[in-house]
Structure 1
Amino acid sequence: MGMPPEPFDTDDPPRDTGSLRSSQRSSSTSRRLPRRTAARKPAFASTLKALDDLAAHGARISVRITDLDRGTAVLSGDDFVTLPVAGLGVVPLLIEVAAAFEAGTLDPLEIIDRSSVERVAVGGVWQHLMAPALPLSDLAVLTASTGDALAANALLARVGLPAVRRRIELLGLSRSALLDRFRDERGPDDAPHFALGSSRELSEVFAALVNSQAVSPGVSAQVAEWLSLNHDLSLVASATGLDPFSHENDEHGLLFINKTGRDDGIRVEAGVLAGPRAGVSYALIVCFDDLSIMHRLRAHEAFRILGTELMEYVF
């Protein structure tokens, strides 16, 4: 799977960690979240150790954590490297759908018949529902909340892959791409992956969503609302203690949205986590040899460790 990253270094204060040949990006955009008192500066030592261990076993890793108040990197490593991101690639698709709703070129109540979309069973619930047809707005909810591949393919068929690719360009994402629809099996004539991305750009997209800078405030709010319904809190988000099925309004004042991506040997999560002390946008991509359940659990544990240290940072 390529050369593993260089070892992490945990002695310096939060910075673009050089262990993964990372680079720094400064931000001049205005931010919507209020400034908070200076947060503690954790070393993310446990996260770095877990990622180092994955790298030593041949995993490819891209990680980025950005402080939303400062617009600076708290932690980054190979954040510019483009890697497969599986189902997380639906985020630009959702942005394009929301933009079309706002522009009036797409009717949220337009009904899409399930029989018009080629069957795919890699994930989701629409294939198990009695309803043979749903409006586009409901398909967007299913795509964001349950990673429904059939619903995502229906949205993609309606807006078109070229439109999503143009939207990716307009968002300034030079290292991201939506390559294909979801498929149960990929043949030699199919794109090798559903989507590609880098942790830096994924982190930037989620920051733009909560700061009302993704296309427009209305589009940003709509996509953030869809993503706030995401049920998959099993990776980074497992540390939040939120209810996977009801976490829009947390009584402890935790702002959280996320999206995950999963495929054979691929685990990805990106999102925004904000508490009383600080707010961050984050993204972690891990591509690993899924040779056994232990290899998989080692990758999952790295995400959970990151989640714990992010909670310490924002609280």
Structure 2
Amino acid sequence: MNINWSVLVVPLDEPNPQPWLEQSPHTVLKTASVGKLLLLGEVARRIDAGALAADHRVTKDGARFVRDSGLWHTLDQRDLTVVDACRLVGAVSDNLATNVLLDLVGLDSVAAYGASIGVGPMELLDYVSGEARDLSVPGTPPTLSRASAASLIAYLRRLYDGGISPRVEEWMSLSTDLSMVASAFLEDPLAHNTIDEDVHPALVNKTGTDDGIRADVGVVRSGGRAVGYAAIANWPTDGSAPGLLSVMERMRRIGAEIRDRLAQG
């Protein structure tokens, strides 16, 4: 099975850290929903700047409706505050909330935000669609998002250093998908977040999943240390199980290596 990997694990609490793990860290791969982190960053920036009220209400009426990941499409509630929509994206990678927030701020603003914080080639390229992309249509992006492990670590470093609003870390702390690298840290997927200005969560992460794509990016804190990790895998979508099984096993081994090294101090 031909699996393309981009992996980088780096301490964030050191000025010139040596990678703990790396494999093709500058290779750009498809990252599915991981690119939503750029959207969350832009929304948080606007709230912090006073350009957008945290309690501003957005509605799913008239939005690009999409099911798959998320909860809002199953709920009776028609409108939410901006912050609650961001919480849904952080917790369950909510596709409908993503599209509603993109209607609010625009893809161009998200791209400009990514450029402003210097995390290229990390990109969110499009709205979420429940249908296969028709690449014969001019201007259709080839994928929802893409990045290299190195660019994802750059995003985490901005988050750790305060260059990205701490709101994003709070929303990431709600993530319920701890199936990949994050599985090694044995946190309760439904109750591991700490929302407190003075206490950083032990684990925050964002995942991306699609046919032939698995990605997990996050920050782990333990014993006064903070480690950023990014692991992306792409493989051919021929329907064979070994590709996914092999990827998930490797993801969990990466998490175990981080856990064990943190335990050693």
**TM-score for the superposition, normalised by structure 1:** 0.77
State the match for 2:149 in structure 1.
199
Structure 1 residues 153 and 77, CA gap change in structure 2 (3 angstroms): same
Distance 1:132 1:254 in 2: 31
Q: Answer yes or no: is the 8 Å Cα contact 1:111–1:134 preserved in 2.
A: yes
Alignment root-mean-square deviation, CA: 1.7
Deviation at 1:150, TM superposition (A): 0.5
Distance 1:213 1:135 in 2: 24
Of 132, 135, 149, which residue of structure 1 is paired with 2:95? 149
More displaced stretch, 167-176 vs 274-283: 274-283
Structure 1 residues 179 and 259, CA gap change in structure 2 (3 angstroms): same
Residue-pair matches, total? 252
Q: What are the Cα deviations for residues 123-170 of structure 1, in whole angstroms up to 9, with x where unaligned?
A: 110000110111111100001110100001111110011100000100
State the match for 1:239 in structure 2.
184
Structure 1 residues 98 and 249, CA gap change in structure 2 (3 angstroms): closer
State the match for 2:216 in structure 1.
269
Q: Secondary structure at the match of 2:246?
A: helix
State the match for 1:314 in structure 2.
262
Structure 1 residues 107 and 277, CA gap change in structure 2 (3 angstroms): closer
Q: What are the Cα deviations for residues 212-234 of structure 1, in whole angstroms up to 9, with x where unaligned?
A: 232xxxx1x11101100111001
The answer to whether the aligner puts 1:132 opposite 2:78 as a matched pair is yes
Distance 1:247 1:272 in 2: 13
Q: Answer yes or no: is the 8 Å Cα contact 2:33–2:144 preserved in 1.
A: yes
Deviation at 1:254, TM superposition (A): 7.1
Distance 2:125 2:194 in 1: 35
Q: Secondary structure at the match of 1:116?
A: coil
Q: Answer yes or no: is the 8 Å Cα contact 2:193–2:201 preserved in 1.
A: no
Q: Answer yes or no: is the 8 Å Cα contact 1:238–1:304 preserved in 2.
A: yes
The answer to whether the aligner puts 1:298 opposite 2:246 as a matched pair is yes
Gaps of 5+ in 1: 1-56
State the match for 1:91 in structure 2.
37
State the match for 2:234 in structure 1.
287
Q: Secondary structure at the match of 1:261?
A: strand
Percent of pairs identical after alignment?
31
Structure 1 residues 109 and 278, CA gap change in structure 2 (3 angstroms): closer
Distance 1:101 1:69 in 2: 27
Q: Answer yes or no: is the 8 Å Cα contact 1:109–1:137 preserved in 2.
A: yes
Deviation at 1:249, TM superposition (A): 4.1
Gaps of 5+ in 2: none
Q: Answer yes or no: is the 8 Å Cα contact 1:179–1:191 preserved in 2.
A: yes
| Residue identity in the other structure for 2:65 | R
List structure 1 runs of 4+ shifted beyond 4 angstroms.
none
State the match for 1:259 in structure 2.
206
State the match for 1:53 in structure 2.
none
Q: What are the Cα deviations for residues 82-139 of structure 1, in whole angstroms up to 9, with x where unaligned?
A: 1111000000110000000111111222222211202111211000011011111110
Distance 2:79 2:224 in 1: 45
Distance 2:167 2:225 in 1: 24
| Residue identity in the other structure for 1:66 | V
Deviation at 1:292, TM superposition (A): 2.0
Matches within 5 A, 1:37-48: none
Q: Secondary structure at the match of 1:209?
A: helix
| Residue identity in the other structure for 2:64 | E
State the match for 1:59 in structure 2.
3
State the match for 2:174 in structure 1.
229
Q: Answer yes or no: is the 8 Å Cα contact 1:207–1:272 preserved in 2.
A: no
Matches within 5 A, 1:48-127: 57-70=1-14, 71-72=16-17, 73-127=19-73
